[in-house]
Structure 1
Amino acid sequence: MKTVKSLKQALLQAEMQAEMPPRALKKQLSDEQYQSCFRDLMKGSESITYRDFIIPRLSELIEPFTRSYDSISVLEIGPGPESILGHLPNHHRSKIGKYVAFEPNKLFAACLKDWLCNGEGGLSPFPNWLCRPIVHQAKFAPSAEGISATSNSDQTSEKFHIVLFCHSMYRMQPKAEFIRRAVQFLVDLPEKGMVIVFHRDEQWDLAGLFCHEQATYPTGTISVKNCDEDLNKFSSFIVGFTWQDNDERHRMQSQWQQICRKLGHREMLPNQLVFSSPAMLATFSQLSVSYSSPPPGVPSWTVQRPLKNREVRGIKPPLVFRPTTIEHVAQCVRWAIKNGFSATVIGGGHSGHCVRPNVVAIDMGEFNEVHITSDWTLENSHESGSLIIAGAGCKAGEVISEARVKGLTVPLGSRPSVGAGLWLQGGIGNLTRLHGLACDAIVGAVMVSVDSGQILFVGNVPSRYRPAGATRSQNEEDLLWAIKGAGSNFGIIVSVIFRGFLVPTYFVKKWIISMEDGKEAISKLDGYAKQFTEELPRSLSASLYLYLEAEHLSLGVTIIETLTNNGKSENSCSDKIGAILGPTVSIETVDSLQIFDIEMYMSTIGGGHKKGKTSSFKRCVFLRKFHTSAACEALVSGVQNRPTPLCYVHLVQGGGAVQDLAPSATAFGCRGWTYACVITGVWPREADQTELPQAVIEWTYRVTAALLPFSDGVYSADLGPDPRDTMLALRSFGSNLPRLAYLKHKFDPLNLLAHTCPIQKPWTGPRLIILVSGHSCAGKDYCADVWKAVLAADNASTISIRKVSISDKTKKDYALACGANWRRLVEDRVYKEQHRADLTKFFEFQVWRRPQLPEEHFLEAVKDSVNVDVLIITGMRDRSLLPTLSPLVPGSRLLDIRVTRSKDDPFDTRAASERTPRCAESVHAKETSIHSCPSLVFENDLRGISKARQFAQDSIRPLLSQDLLKLAAMIPSVSNFPHFGIDFQHVLHISQCPEGLSLCTSLMEAQFAGSWSQVHSIICCEVGSLVFASSLASSVKIPLVLIRQAGKLPPPVVSVKKPKSHISSCDLEESRLEMDPRLVSSNAPVVIVDDVLATGKTLCATIELLRKAHVPTENISVIVIAEFPIHRGREMLHQREYGDIRVQSLLYFEGA
């Protein structure tokens, strides 16, 4: 999609090439013309940017002022006909006691004055003003004299808490001077004041000004109606002028219409042209101008060294510190704290957020020494060996090179130029399967606290490498844990201490397999990935590359064998794989430095080094086992639709040592993956300043989103402040996220490191969230209204209930963008059906640009219902609601009720008083199109309201029973058991409480969605399950089938590999689970009872056993006592194609 900036350039270029005659004098738009264009603009998709970005962020910024002061004062520059402040919540607007505006447009100024006095309903938008609002019909000038002259009033003595520019700086040059002048209007220190600027996202030269906060909205758009009159006004508005001569104006407008139609995107809205219009936010304070002098003696640069990442190459920070001692680093941090500034850290320069506009940067390049110690014994451990001390300015290749001299190595990443940011957030490379991640090898660190500027060391740091004045952190255990996987968020790391490993050589084999079509690619990718996972030992690692060569799909395979003894390959597995893959394209033995150059993206894909300089953008998804071809299909489809021939997907094999550690052992909580899938968008370096990079970035996010249903998490090393990364970051740390969010607030309370991977605690939602799903015209809203009324009547004084439609936000966006009537879209069935096709198309385009939009809409609905006990959400038609959404609100019970329609009912039941014929879209599409099993199914038939009421009484009301709260109270939480960092929920303690087991049994029996009379047997697995399953089996008088460890049951048996618990010891030997297949029937239902559902591994193994005993999945149900959604157990079931099995959980917990 073309940007507004590129459109403006094209329009101006056409005007220059037209060689307009002298008489065709340009003239600025009149106030009337500007007003007309502005109104048209705000009727389009620009209004979505205001609602989704500007208004929420403005509300967040003003919130601290409304808490600190009884009354606040605001100066707004160029507000237009209405102030954006009028859209803030009432409790914010009621605190605005003084309001002054500068608005040069006479029509806007008149409208603004009227709006301030006679707002909506004839009431002022600022009901508690201390003095009448003042509107100066004048320009805001960058000098006191200029303002005084144009305003006819001396405003230089007035001071304000907030000065606001909302899309009003376009003709203000130089912008730095206007911001400096605005800062002069802020209240005097120590009172807080803030200049807030919203603008189109572009690079500014602010002449040394420092921002306090920045944010971007990269998916904003602007739209215009595709007709000559509107395009004429729109194009003149974009360039800022028109012509005096009518003939020449008409001739130029005709050309501009063609340009708009050529560059405009037509797929998003009917009869609309859409352009990309990213937005940004920047805030400034008194200290942005009058900050204290930088610490003396600390070297600084006004131009930073060349950086690797294309995203940051053109960014010029106002100041780059280049400290040479650790005391310099501490001084920089204390200086930033004193002035209230955030900071970025430059290491290897690969990060897309190591520098930010108008933010101070700390370049750690001088800390580039590597030291090695031998015969070191780790504190609090019997382990001994060599340690490698690497400065934060070292590159991976430098560390490997120095260690190699001593016969050592560290399992760092796969590129020699990456820096400390990668080690601290994971570090995946060729030794990962054998020795683990780079962060797993960290045993200590030296750092500077961003809370105080104090020099600290944590973990095992040899005494001679502890800086003078450094102290051992009082929170050492927490800090070291956080550094190992999320280290860029918790302090300025100066040096890292690694455990050393013997240096290996590598035996490398490569294959390139050409494939005729996508079907063959899916088959081979699926087959090879499975085979490598099952057969390769830890000493062998596979990499797969999917790319297009001359428009033909190709699969590159690299098998790397790590040789640590005599340098000869003795592994027959490599030969066996070779026999399957066919002839190799190369075989070579390389050392620990040469291994960096053997990657296919360096040597083969797109011509390797011969392709010339390129830029890239990556995101990495951790994939679990390829149990279906669906993940492969998503990969192949992504590559086939790549925006440039250089894009590819790289699959790096995991498992092995990565899974030896429990997820809670370090901050790196994603350890169940078998492949790290690196989606890599690449384009020629000469295209950096075109719109191609944006197309590649959007492609990368789309492919990433398509793979999330098959993932175990997302690699945090790539993620930054881009809002599209926020949803991905929720998947980056597994169950460690709540603890990391707490530690982030504890160790970086000022958010000095604000531009790293975002860490935020999962949202705590209502006690019960009901998702009403089903096909269109099934009667979802009608049923939801009935259920809400029933629950409200039964619990009138005890719980609060709210009903929302997930589609209302999309309908609002659509109405704003294309001029439809939002109220009729919500209330008028016939009107909505007329717009259904365009509305669906609009939503699909939104998701195409923002792949995580459905999850964002869900979370917004939850956040808006923070004080609600029961939230009912309608309009849900996604295929896998529970696996996708439950980890986002791990403390809530999420219920998916699927509404279906009786085939004998010719009416639409969504309207109780006025029934209408069934809409054209069939509501009886095959249920297989919705893959996951709902919690409950309600058939909406001719019995209408009576049946819906009874359903609420029988199936929903019991979920609000006080008995469930009583049962939850019987489960104590035990901190730091069985490992540090785990809050263990002792579910088995229920059986040790008086009446605990009987209460639990009665709840299981009552809340089972099926019929006990049809159940053939109850399945239990090991002790945790046996406690509850035996009691239930006795109560319902159904046989109990035991699943035991291998060797505990007499033959005949069927068996499967027993998975390790996510909190169990990593040293347990591999074992198997067995059961007697004669005890179950292939024709009768069975119910699995388990104490806990976390990762889902044990449950999947149990289901696999039943499948081996010929029990079909449609005959299997599951009851769980306690579920921990943050571990994504339901997602595991979905990936293993067990999503059609109904799983019912009595209780839900946020932690482990």
Structure 2
Amino acid sequence: MITVKSLKQALLQAEMPPHALKKQLSDEQYQSCFGDLMKGSESMTYRDFIIPHLSKLIEPLTRSYDSISVLEIGPGPESILGRLPYHHRRKIGRYVAFEPNKSFAACLQDWVCNGDGGLSPFPNRLCRPTIHQSKLCTSAEGICATINSDQTGGKFHVVLFCHSMYGMQPKAEFIRRAVDFLVNLPEKGMVIVFHRDEQWDLAGLVCHEQATYPTSTMSVRDCDEDLNKFSSFIVGFTWQDNENRNCMQSQWQEICRELGHREMLPNQLVFSSPAMFATFSKLSVSYSSPAPEVPLWTVRRPLKNREARGIKPALVFRPTTIEHVAQCVRWAIENGFSATVIGGGHSGHCVRSNVVAIDMGELNEVYITSDWKSESSQESGSLIIAGAGCKAGEVVSKAREEGLTVPLGSRPSVGAGLWLQGGIGHLTRLHGLACDAIVGAVIVSVDSGQMLFVGNVPSRYRPAGATRSENEQDLLWAIKGAGSNFGIVVSVVFRGFSAPTYFVKKWILSMEDGKEAISKLDEYANRFTEKLPRSLSAGLYLYQEAEHLYLGVTIIETSINDVRSENSCSDSIEGILGPTVSIETVEGLQIFEIEMYMSTIGGGHKKGKTSSFKRCVFLRKFHTSAASEILVSAIQHRPTPLCYVHLVQGGGAVQDLAPSATAFGCRDWAYACVITGVWPREADETELPQAVVEWTYRVTAALLPFADGVYSADLGPDPRDKMLALRSFGSNLPRLTYLRHKFNPHNLLAHTCPIQKPWTGPRLIILVSGKSCAGKDYCADVWKAVLAADDDPTISIRKVSISDKTKQDYALSIGADWRRLIEDRVYKEHYRADLTRFFEFQVWRRPQLPEEHFLEVVKDAVNVDVLFITGMRDRFLLPTLSPLVPGSRLLDIRVTRSEDNLFDTRAASERTPRCAESFPAKETLFHSSPSLVFKNDSRGACKARQFAQDSIRPLLSQDLQKLAAMIPSVSNFPQFGIEFQHVLHISQCPGGLSLCTSLMEAHFADNWSQVHSIICCEVGSLVFASSLASSVKVPLVLIRQAGKLPPPVVSVKKPKSHISSCDLQESRLEMDPRLVSSNAPVVVVDDVLATGKTLCATIELLQKAHVPAQNISVIVIAEFPIHRGREMLHQHGYGDIRVQSLLYFEGA
């Protein structure tokens, strides 16, 4: 799809009539064109990119200040700020705009004062908005004289350019002028720029945040009138006389129709219009160099990646020592900047526009030691220490001199980023991935700038001042497969392997048609997977030349002693594939030259320089032809003749490690499928690269249903990569998300492979709480065994103790055996009193420690469906912990036992009295109602087993999942920023209401026969409560808005929910107090529990009707823990009221 920029160039290059005179568009013409444009696909860019990012950027300001001031440049007829969520708009107290278009300025003045329906978009503004009908200029006198007339002195928290910098040159000067209008430090202020994604040279200005939206488009209706206005809008002018105007408009219509994309929207011509945003502050202008001795590149070294070559970073540091790197990091943290890291230069995100880059090229030393002995195990051997500036070829060449090698991939010029993200090459099947060979590393922390080392780093290769990381295990685990996200790796320590000799055979098979290509690709791929030993590795290439499909095959046999096995499988393959086209024996760097993309496809590299774009998908075994059909079709419809698909065989040593052993979690794959788009280097500035990129993403997406994962080494900040990154780390993604936030808290490494996923805990988390000696661990073991007895392979169950972490810390501090503290009850009792005091002291120093321990336990429960957590004694379990895991069902099962019957129930025959004096005298009092209560007062496990059958197993019922599937999610309703869950839709689904009713009836923790009445509040509750009341044969009591019920009534003020908070009208709730009894239980039924305000009002109303809190229970259809509704109940003194929810949702 051609870009708007290229369209403009084509329109301007159209042949003009002699003596034709141009005329600038009038304000009215511009307004008409702009209005038409916003009716097309451009509006989706505002909805999907601009508004979400603008809302996120302004969020910290609206949290920090009661009122903020905004200066907007060129807002048009309405400000984009009017489409922000209400809670942001109400914080805008002062609004000033510069709008040079007369028509726009008049519309803007009316809109900002009256809005839609007479309501101002900024309801809490402190002064009348000021609209200047003039341009922003870089002359300080011309603008400050106007601004300073305002009483606030002309300083703003936000200066906004939203697609309004077109024609402003040089842009750096306008941004500098905008920065001058920001509030002074230490107050927070930012310049926000939204623009078409173009490469700017901002003369050293450093942006704080940046993002692109490469899939943004601009569309126009395919009719002469609209095309005339659209083309004039794009070039910015029209023609003075009608004859020339008609002549040029005819040409422009033809150009638009020729270049426009027609398939995306009906009767529309669509053009690519990539968008971006960047933010700047006073620090963007006033920063200082990190240190005089840190060199800067004045002329940047050439980069391999085509995209990177065209990008202009703000600064490029060229550190020559590790201390230089640490200084750069500390400087970036101090100024709030992000940074990119340049290694081999193959990555498209090693540099970003107007972002600081750190070029590691000078740190390119390679050292080899052969006398290594592990400090923590019996391992020994040779180590290869490689600086982050090394290329793979340099490491292999140096190692070869010592008879060693490292499995570093298949391209000699790649850098450290590849090793840290995986590293797939010729030795993968024999020795594993490159990241698997990492045994240690030296890292500069992006949290503090401190120099750290992890794993096995020989002492003489540890930098002066470097310390062993306190989180060594996590950090080493993370850099082995996702290493570009957790720190700046300065050097890597590899385990060395004996250097092999490679015996290489090649075949090129001509395919008659696509059908044969599919058949052969399936056959050979599966045969190699089943038959080849680890010492052999197959590579398959699918490409097309002269409209003829070819399948290239390379078999590489690895030998340590230069001798091939007598019964080599590669010989038998000749009987299948036929005669080879070449047989070679190579060593060391020569192995990089034998790849077919280097020597055969498209004439090899001898044909001239090319650029490429690739993505890699891990394919499982070819059980069907579906994947082969996609690949063959992709080659047949490739955008250039140079594009190809490369299948690199996996298995072998890759699968020796468990997916959780390193961050590289995708290991169950047969082939790494590299979809490679290639084009001639001279076409870099044409539309061809974009076509190749789009083709690559399309093929990748089509293969995902057959994939075990996606290779993360190629992925970057492109929004399209975010979805792929969700498939890059397998079950390790939740842990990586947690660790990334932990090790990269300032988001300094913001432009690496995106590891962003909201934390999702187990489906069901059961907190087993109770006093000491109540039998919590025993009961949890019984309940776990009952669920495990179902032998359901789709449900995994785990039981952990929340106190294990404290026991480990305590044991370390006093030298005790932490395993015995966990496993040996007698040993634990000896230390119990001191252990309790130790924990209380820790909590005194770190009040959030219980929550931290809880999250750590949940974090470690990767791929667990049901998690039992014992040892819980916190006062407010559900109100405190449920918002931390909003996507999980969190229950508190209270285990109770009479004080005079504290005995051990580890076996049915044991009744060992316990000594109360061995426990701390002070027991925590529980101040929250549990979800369920289990009275552990019977000998043996029968009662506990029955409780699990009756009360816990139903929580895993498929019926609950069916009910959840009946609730659709609606974005930005009823206002922007709300992810609305349409709970009432249950009643509109066939069988939905009856299913919901049966679940409420079954999950109720008490006895329905004792319930006097069911309480419902308004329509949302009435739908479900009336059905339930009819089913259990209990009277229904209505709570209505004031004036809807006849007297006598009692009433309370009706609160505004987080969804209806924009409704400023106050109302009250009423009920007839004669319908309830002070001595009988009632059940409140509501559709949603979010903030808890409505539920609190309902309970208050019941208490006015003389129903005590202990007689009130609550059943909710859907709960949103993130809003802390249970905490609201506690704040109102209703914490002892039991609230049961059928479903839980993460959203707003």
Pair in the same fold by TM > 0.5: yes
Are 1:414 and 2:414 counterparts?
no
Distance, in Å, in 1 between the alignment partners of 2:626 and 2:613 is 24
Q: Secondary structure at the match of 2:721?
A: helix
Partner of 1:294: 290
The one-letter code of the counterpart of 1:310 is R
Instruction: Report what 1:200 is aligned to.
Output: 196
Q: Deviations over 1:133-169 (max 9, x none)?
A: 1111111111221225788957993111110000000
In 2, Cα distance between the equivalents of 1:672 and 1:343? 34
Aligned to 1:390: 386
The match for 1:640 among 636, 639, 642 is 636
Output one character per residue of 1:33-85: Cα deviation in whole Å (capped at 9) or x when no partner. Answer: 11111101111110010000000010110111111111111110000000000
1:744 and 2:740 are equivalent in the alignment: yes
- Residues 409 and 892 of structure 1: CA distance in aligned 2, closer, same or farther (over 3 Å): farther
Name the counterpart of 1:7: 7
Q: State the one-letter code of the partner of 1:109.
A: A
The offset of 1:640, in angstroms, is 1.1
1:321–1:363 contact (8 Å) kept in structure 2: yes
> Does 2:443 align with 1:447?
yes
Q: 1:766 to 1:580 in 2, by over 3 A?
A: closer
C-alpha distance after superposition, 1:625-644 (max 9, x if no partner): 11111111111111111101
Match of 1:953 among 990, 994, 998: 994
Distance 1:376 1:493, change over 3 A: same
Q: In percent, how many aligned pairs have the same letter?
A: 82
Q: Does residue 706 of structure 2 align to residue 710 of structure 1?
A: yes
How many angstroms does 1:377 deviate by?
A: 1.3
For the pair 1:18 / 2:16, whether they are aligned, the reply is: yes
1:282-361 matches, cutoff 5 A: 282-361=278-357
CA distance in 2, matches of 1:332, 1:746: 20
Could you say what secondary structure the match of 1:622 adopts? strand
Q: Residues of 1 paired with 2:763 and 2:229: CA distance?
A: 51
What pairs up with 1:602-641 in 2 under 5 angstroms? 602-641=598-637
Letter in structure 2 aligned against 1:600: M
Tell me how far 1:568 sits from its aligned partner: 2.6
- The answer for the alignment partner of 2:670 in structure 1 is 674
What are the equivalent positions in structure 2 for 1:1129-1140 lying under 5 Å apart?
none
Q: CA deviation at 1:181?
A: 0.4
Higher relative contact order (CA 8 A, sep 6+): 1
Contact 2:987 2:993 in 1 (8 A): no
Distance 1:897 1:95 in 2: 36
Q: Within 1, Cα distance between the matches of 2:959 and 2:110?
A: 47
1:374-394 Cα distance to aligned partner (Å, 9 max, x none): 121122121111000000000
TM-score, normalised to structure 1's length? 0.68
Q: Counterpart in 1 of 2:424?
A: 428
- Kindly provide the CA deviation profile for residues 482-509 of structure 1, in whole angstroms up to 9, marking residues without a partner as x: 1101111111111100000000000101
Q: Could you list the per-position Cα deviations for residues 1008-1030 of structure 1 after superposition, in whole angstroms to 9, with x for gaps in the alignment? A: xxxxxxxxxxxxxxxxxxxxxxx
- Say whether residues 1:400 and 2:396 are aligned partners: yes
**Residues 762 and 28 of structure 1: CA distance in aligned 2, closer, same or farther (over 3 Å):** same
Cα deviation 1:746-786 (Å, max 9, x = unaligned):
11100001010011124649989xxxxxxxxxxxxxxxxxx
- 2:1076 paired residue number: none
Paired residue for 1:543, among 539, 543, 561?
A: 539
Matched to 2:239, the amino acid is: W
Report the secondary structure of 2:117's partner residue. Answer: helix
List runs of 5+ in structure 2 lacking aligned partners: 765-884, 890-957, 967-984, 1007-1141
AA paired with 2:424?
I
Deviation digits for residues 1076-1096 of structure 1 (CA, Å, limit 9, x no counterpart): xxxxxxxxxxxxxxxxxxxxx
Aligned-pair CA distance for 1:367: 0.8
Q: 1:84 to 1:945 in 2, by over 3 A?
A: closer
Q: Which has the larger radius of gyration?
A: 2
How far apart, in 2, do the equivalents of 1:447 and 1:491 lie? 6
Q: CA deviation at 1:575?
A: 1.5
CA-to-aligned-CA distance 1:826-878 (integer Å, 9 cap, x gap): xxxxxxxxxxxxxxxxxxxxxxxxxxxxxxxxxxxxxxxx98999xxxxxxxx
User: Take 1:298 and 1:264, find their aligned partners in 2: how far apart are those partners?
Assistant: 49
Which deviates more, 700-709 or 955-964? Answer: 955-964
Which of 486, 493, 499 matches 1:490? 486
Matches within 5 A, 1:903-914: none
* Closer/same/farther in 2, CA of residues 145 and 510 from structure 1, 3 Å limit: same
Q: 1:584 to 1:63 in 2, by over 3 A?
A: same
Alpha-carbon contact 2:963-2:992 (below 8 Å) kept:
no
> Structure 1 511/894 Cα, relative in aligned 2: closer, same or farther at 3 Å?
farther
C-alpha separation in 1, matches of 2:367 and 2:429: 26
Question: Counterpart of 2:342 in structure 1: which amino acid?
Answer: I
3-state SS, counterpart of residue 756 of structure 1: coil
Query: What SS class does the counterpart of residue 211 from structure 2 fall into?
Result: strand
**In structure 2, what is the Cα distance between the partners aligned to 1:552 and 1:762?**
47
When normalised by structure 2's length, the TM-score is 0.68
Whichever residue aligns with residue 435 of structure 2, its letter is C
Q: Distance in 1 between matches of 2:255 and 2:714?
A: 37
Question: In 2, Cα distance between the equivalents of 1:618 and 1:194?
Answer: 36
What is the CA–CA distance in structure 2 between the aligned matches of 1:427 and 1:584, rounded to whole Å? 28
Give me the whole-angstrom Cα distance separating, in 2, the residues matched to 1:578 and 1:488. Answer: 42
Residue 588 of structure 2 aligns to a residue whose secondary structure is coil
What CA distance in whole angstroms lies between the structure 2 residues aligned with 1:961 and 1:728? 41
For the pair 1:733 / 2:729, whether they are aligned, the reply is yes
Distance 2:259 2:163 in 1: 23
Aligned-partner Cα distance in 1 for 2:298–2:401 = 37
8 Å Cα contact 2:886-2:1144 kept in structure 1: no
Which of 566, 573, 593 aligns to 1:577? It is: 573
Distance of aligned partners of 1:64 and 1:150 in 2 relative to their CA distance in 1, 3 Å threshold: closer
Q: Among residues 201, 213, 216, which one is paired with 1:217 in the alignment?
A: 213
Q: CA deviation at 1:892?
A: 13
> Within the alignment, does 1:121 sit opposite 2:117 as a pair?
yes
CA contact (8 A) 1:156 1:185 kept: no
Shift of 1:624: 0.9
Which residue in the other structure is 1:972 paired with?
none
CA contact (8 A) 1:144 1:156 kept: no
Q: Quote the offset at 1:566 in angstroms.
A: 3.7
SS in 2 for 1:761: coil
Residues of 2 paired with 1:123 and 1:708: CA distance?
Answer: 48
Number of paired residues? Answer: 807
Query: Is the 1:507–1:569 Cα contact (8 Å) retained in structure 2?
Result: no
Q: Shift in Å at residue 25 of structure 1?
A: 2.4
CA offset at residue 721 of structure 1? Answer: 0.2
Q: Could you tell me how far apart the structure 2 residues matched to 1:474 and 1:1147 are?
A: 40
Structure 1 letter corresponding to 2:665: G
After TM superposition, give the deviation of residue 170 of structure 1 in Å: 0.2
Aligned residue for 1:565, secondary structure, equals coil
Structure 1's 1147 and 293: CA in aligned 2 closer, same or farther, altered over 3 A?
Answer: same
Equivalent residues in 2 for 1:873-952, closer than 5 Å? 949-950=990-991
What amino acid is aligned across from residue 13 of structure 2 in structure 1? Q
Residues 580-624 of structure 1, C-alpha deviations (whole Å, 9 max, x = no match):
011110111110211000000111111112321100000000111
Q: Which amino acid letter does the alignment assign opposite residue 506 of structure 1?
A: Y
Work out which of the residue numbers 757, 762, 768 in structure 2 matches 1:761: 757
Pick the aligned partner of 1:188 from 184, 187, 208: 184
Residues 434 and 233 of structure 1: is their aligned pair in 2 closer, same or farther, counting only changes over 3 Å? same
Contiguous gaps of at least 5 residues in structure 1: 769-865, 871-890, 900-943, 966-1145
Change (3 A) 1:53 1:956: farther
Work out the CA distance in 2 between the residues paired with 1:217 and 1:495. 34
Corresponding residue SS for 1:329: helix
Residue 176, structure 1, aligned to residue 172, structure 2: yes
